[in-house]
Amino acid sequence: MQQNSLTTVESRIYATKDVKITHLKQGSTTYSKMSFPIHCGIYSEIETKEFIFQFNLNSEIFRAKGKGREWAHPHEWLKRTPGNDWVYYSTGGYTGVFEATGEYYLPNFQYPTNSILGGHPFAHEEITRISGSWYQFLLELQAQQTDLPRHFGNFLNQVITNSPEKLEQKAQLLHEIIGGRISVLPPDARHVDYNIIPLTISEGCLYKCAFCKVKNNTVFTEKSDAEIRAQISRLAKLYGRDLINYNSLFLGEHDALQSSPERILFSIETACKEFDFDHSYTAGTNVFLFGSVTSLLNKPDAFFRQLVESGAMTYINIGLESADQQTLDKIGKPLTERLVQEAFWRGQDINDRFPSVEITANFIMDENLPDNHYKKILHLIREQQVHVKPKGSIYFSPLTFDRPSRTRLFEFNRIKIQSRLPTYLYIIQRF
Ligand code: SF4
């Protein structure tokens, strides 16, 4: 992997009995799934007796944790997203979380989502104390550390300029550039811990399903090449020095695959070049997008061949929801089960033939769905599969929000055990 000149900059450390500042700490260069936290990228760190705060290359806080007894677990941490949400990563007892989500850490949010796992970490005083008062702690630290060496004093000054208000303004600018907050990211973005750069190449979706809580009223519309180019250039400026830590692109919004093949390929090529993913500190390049039954069935093989030639690993997540007509009708998805099943097999076919393209699929979970819903899914993911396959994840998305449920988890585990495809829960995360 080629690396940018920043990666050759050495870390510098300042340490006293009260504080340790590590400037330009070099983390892992690959995303890996481990039962202890391994953080990717280059970042800086301020550690006191009570806290650890981490900052990206724009000197903006993006991770924090407590060190005292009140902190739930030494492996757990808080992350601030570019959309300015604090997310708490909990171990959740490891085994249950890993089996259900494919990740060792469970993201917990401050907004309603469909997770059926986890507790309420933001009800814990120590967690809200850090997410709410980190800036005050840093101001106090700055007042105490009057004789910091210049290099570290400058770094602390930069950190202090990024106040909570300024970070919120930056998040608003990000949303303004991409045309609004992203209500949901694809589940596959978990492979890079949701560290994506979003680029809106189309808006809206085709079906406006009755059950869906993340849709908008926009009729499906593609952005022009000029609009996409302008977004890319504004995003590159916004991510600034921290761009080097990114290697992944999310093409929004809800059905980017419905865009023309030329527009999708143009967007990937232009963005990867402008964001200089070839020289990212983090190895590999990934592209994530959503597709629909219609957009998947309409894309010819030639398009997937071109995706492979782009050099990126492309994950396309398709909302199938159900392979049973009665269930599709009940949830208000205007499709036939025949078309859903055809899209499922088209995804399998692509996964078998295009090594750097992965089509993943979502099915819903809920109380009181017709019996045939689960039966017909199992027909596709077990009975019709000759072998166990490592590729083509199936995600189950609970329809209810903010209702952790042991019964749903039990139901999910029953299906997972029988599935011959990798099978996980889909936890809705916004950006
Ligand atoms: S499930 Fe997908 S296609 Fe249906 S309304 Fe929601 S975003 Fe649109």
User: Tens of pLDDT along 176-210?
Assistant: 999 999 999 999 999 999 999 999 999 999 999 99
d(CA 46, CA 24): 11
SS3 257: helix
Within-domain flag for 430 = no
224 token code pair: 């022009």
66 touches 79 (CB < 8 A): no
pLDDT tens per residue, range 334-358? 999 999 999 999 999 999 999 999 9
Under DSSP, the state recorded for 180 is S
Q: Ligand 1 centroid to 214 CA: how many Å?
A: 7
Name the domain count of the chain. Answer: 2
Of all protein residues, the one whose alpha carbon is nearest to atom 5 of ligand 1 is 208
d(CA 380, CA 361): 12
Which CATH number goes with the domain that contains 405? 3.20.20.70
% of the chain surpassing 70 pLDDT:
97
Domain co-membership, 234 together with 314: yes
355 and 268 share a domain?
Answer: yes
CA nearest ligand 1 atom 7, residue: 215
Q: Cβ of 262: how many Cβ atoms within 10 Å?
A: 11
pLDDT at 6: 54
Nearest to 2 by CA among 280, 268, 271, 244: 280
- With respect to residue 71, please indicate whether it lies within any of the assigned structural domains: yes
Nearest alpha carbon, ligand 1 atom 1: 212
pLDDT at 2 over 50: no
Nearest C-alpha to atom 3 of ligand 1 is from which residue?
Answer: 207
In a domain? residue 431: no
Distance (angstroms) between ligand 1 centre and the Cα of 335 equals 12
pLDDT band at 8 (very low <50, low <70, confident <90, very high): low
Does one domain contain both 218 and 301?
yes
- The pLDDT of residue 3 is 45
pLDDT score recorded for residue 117: 86
Same-domain check for residues 64 and 192: no
The band of 296, judged by pLDDT with boundaries at 50, 70 and 90, is very high
Q: By C-alpha distance, which of 115, 321, 315, 299 is closest to 215?
A: 321
Q: Are residues 119 and 188 in the same domain?
A: no
In a domain, 125, yes or no: yes
221 phi/psi in degrees, rounded to 5: -140, 135
Based on the domain organization, do 225 and 362 belong to the same domain? yes
Q: Does the pLDDT of residue 111 top 70, yes or no? A: yes
> Is the domain of 74 the same as that of 89?
yes
Q: Mean of the per-residue pLDDT values for the chain?
A: 94
Average of per-residue pLDDT across 14-43: 94
CA distance 223 to 212: 23
Pocket around ligand 1: residues whose beta carbon is below 6 Å from it?
205, 207-209, 212, 214-215, 254, 292, 319
Q: How confident is the model at residue 1 (pLDDT cuts 50, 70, 90)?
A: very low
Task: Give the ligand 1 atom nearest the CA of 214.
Answer: 6
Atom of ligand 1 nearest to the CA of 184: 7
Q: Which residues, in sequence order, are CB contacts of 186 under 8 Å at separation 6+?
A: 250, 288, 289, 290, 315, 317, 360
Domain boundary among 163, 186, 201: 163
Based on the number of CB atoms within 10 Å of its own CB, is 290 exposed (0-12), middle (13-18) or buried (19 or more)? buried
Examine the domain organization and report whether 154 and 229 are in the same domain: no
Domain that holds residue 255: 166-425
Task: Answer yes or no: do 175 and 267 share one domain.
Answer: yes
Q: For tokens 């022009």, what's the residue?
A: 224
User: How distant, in Å, are the alpha carbons of 107, 158, 228, 312 from that of 42?
Assistant: 22, 17, 28, 22
Say what the pLDDT of residue 94 is: 52
Judgement on whether residues 192 and 155 belong to the same structural domain of the protein: no
298 SS3 class? helix
- Residue 226, pLDDT > 60, answer yes
Note the pLDDT tens digit of each residue in 272-288.
Answer: 999 999 999 999 999 99
pLDDT at 402: 76
Residue type, 155: F
Residues 155 and 173 grouped into a single domain: no
Q: Which residue has the higher pLDDT, 116 or 430?
A: 430
Q: How many angstroms is it from 315 CA to the middle of ligand 1?
A: 18
E strands, 206-344, are 221-222, 248-252, 286-291, 313-321
Q: Which two structure tokens, joined as six digits, stand for 395?
A: 């995600």
Does 203 map to a domain?
yes
Dig out the tokens for 10 from the structure. 């050495």
The reported pTM is 0.95
- Say how many Å lie between the CA of residue 280 and the centre of ligand 1: 33
- Return the pLDDT at 95: 58
Of 4-13, 74-83, 92-101, 330-339, give the lowest mean pLDDT range: 4-13
- Residue that is last in its domain, among 163, 182, 212: 163
Query: To test ligand 1's pocket by mutation, which of 114, 203, 205 has the most ligand atoms within 8 angstroms of CB?
Result: 205
**Separation between Cα atoms, residue 142 and residue 38, nearest integer Å:** 28
- What pLDDT score was predicted for residue 171? 98
Q: What is the pLDDT averaged over residues 82-98? A: 87
Across 137-156, average pLDDT? 96
Q: How many residues does the chain have?
A: 431
Same domain, 388 and 333: yes
Residue at a domain's end among 113, 143, 163 = 163
Radius of gyration of the chain (CA): 22
pLDDT reading at 238 higher than 90: yes
Our measurement of the distance from residue 309's CA atom to the centroid of its chain's CA atoms, rounded to an integer in Å, reads 24
